[in-house]
Amino acid sequence: MNAHEFELTEEQRLVRDTAKQFATAEVAPLARKIDAEHYFPKELIPKLGSLGFLGVNVQAEYGGAELDYLSYALIVEELATVCASTSVIVSAHNSLCVWPISAYANADQLKAYLPKLASGEWLGCFALSEPGTGSDAARQTCLSRKVEGGWIVNGVKNWITNGPEADICVLFAMEHPEKMHRGINCFIVELKNTPGVSCGKREDKLGICGSPTSSIMFEEAFLLDSALLGQTGEGFKIAMSTLDGGRIGIAAQAVGIARAAFQDAIRYSQERSTFGKAIHEHQSIQNFLADMACQIDAARLLTFSAARRKDAGAPYSRQAAQAKLYASEAAIFCAHKGVQIHGGYGFVKDFNAERYYRDAKITEIYEGTSEIQRLVIAGALLKEYDIQG
């Protein structure tokens, strides 16, 4: 689908086409294995790095591609159209690890971390969620205690995308519980070089099965003063600003999954016949396809809008939440209709329709559930229109 082609610059089209070619040539042959075997595609990481896809928004002086955020959304969408697992590996690395380091790190941290993250030598993750504090991020129970020369961290983080394979973690830990969100610190942690840090088992998930997810445990883990990202007490602000951008990436992933389900369904509707004609000739199937196309285009426009606002330096928190909310629900809708169009074949693993159905669900959950997105949107609207609520 080439909807909204007119909105893209020549450079953005080139980025999109490069991502599409890579997804088709390198990712597609692995997609079924990635899903069926819960296989982490380690061999793709250096290739993604060499294309600039692991340092999309990183400055060229640190080895990054120095592209805009809309280009990043295009890359994620193209990868997700072929393999949702690969797209979220890239999205979590860029949005949740590389971006906050780029935005809040000091000069020494930028030089130490960005080149290796942008090249794919290091993979990144983001540790905010905890066993008892998912959406309520202000109530962190992972604790950071100031000691001479650094910090001691104790606690558990849950649902860490890339966790078992990551080298670098952007970690959030409470220092002053009485201050709630103002008492949280942010750290850059070298996971494999820090005593007291360990990963839990890889989660056996419904979808995005090749995206490795685990808990990360911190037991008297000592972090140097140089590990602090930003200032003390800035952790919550860093987390929320990071998630705003991350939601654009997940919206793009959801658009890609929806698009995959649509393309798969429209091909099948041309091949399958019932009652003496191809099923795409039946009005009910045409209605499904029309609704899917509308949802995909609307979701992409919302995603583009949020990305453009971020690129322009305009406020985009509400727009990012709207994009993620709508695109994730569009992915669910399109994946569901895709299975329905396939009928019984949509329920078996010989066809991709059921994979899209499983992969779509997570987009309504991670980086803020749909319920949280609605709260973010409503809160912003109440402020924008000065409505007393």
In the chain, where does the domain assigned CATH 1.20.140.10 lie? Answer: 237-384
Residue range(s) occupied by CATH 1.10.540.10 in the chain:
5-123
> Residue 324: which residues within 8 A CB-CB, separation 6 or more?
247, 248, 250, 251, 254, 363, 367, 368, 373
| % of residues, the chain, pLDDT over 70 | 98
Distances (CA, A) of 315 to 183, 240, 244, 307, 309: 25, 13, 10, 11, 7
What residue spans in the chain does CATH classification 2.40.110.10 cover?
A: 125-233
Q: pLDDT tens digits, residue range 285-305? A: 999 999 999 999 999 999 999
Strand partners, 157: 216
The pLDDT tens digits for 9-60 are: 999 999 999 999 999 999 999 999 999 999 999 999 999 999 999 999 999 9
> Which whole-number Å values give the CA distances from 43 to 34, 39, 90, 232, 325, in the listed order?
12, 11, 13, 38, 32
Of the chain, the percentage scoring pLDDT greater than 90 comes to 93
Class of the domain covering 125-233:
mainly beta
Average pLDDT, integer, range 316-327: 98
- Please classify residue 6 by burial: count the beta carbons closer than 10 Å to its beta carbon, then call 0-12 exposed, 13-18 middle and 19+ buried: exposed
Amino acid identity of 172?
F
Give pLDDT, residue 319: 97
Average pLDDT over residues 353-360: 98
Per DSSP, the residues of 286-315 read HHHHHHHHHHHHHHHHHHHHHHHHHHHT--
Report the amino acid identity of residue 321. Answer: A
Helix, strand, or coil (residue 46):
helix
Query: Do residues 262 and 338 touch, judged by C-beta distance below 8 A?
Result: yes
The pLDDT, as a whole number, for residue 139 is 87
Query: pLDDT for 48-61, tens place per residue?
Result: 999 999 999 999 99
Which residues participate in catalysis according to the annotation?
A: 367
Q: Is the pLDDT of residue 1 over 80?
A: no
pLDDT digits (tens, 9 = 90+) for 129-155: 999 887 787 889 999 999 999 999 999
**Beta partners for residue 160, in sequence order:** 214
303-315 pLDDT, tens digit per residue, is 999 999 999 999 9
Interval 215-221 mean pLDDT = 98
Give yes or no for residue 389 having a pLDDT over 50. no
Instruction: Return the pLDDT at 145.
Output: 97
What pLDDT score was predicted for residue 5?
A: 66
Identify the CATH assignment for 5-123 out of 3.90.1150.10, 1.10.10.10, 1.10.540.10, 1.10.150.80.
1.10.540.10
- Percentage helix, strand, coil for the chain under 3-state DSSP, each rounded to 5: 60, 15, 25
Q: Span 261-275, mean pLDDT?
A: 95
Q: Which CATH superfamily is domain 237-384 in?
A: Butyryl-CoA Dehydrogenase, subunit A, domain 3 (1.20.140.10)
Average pLDDT over residues 229-241: 96
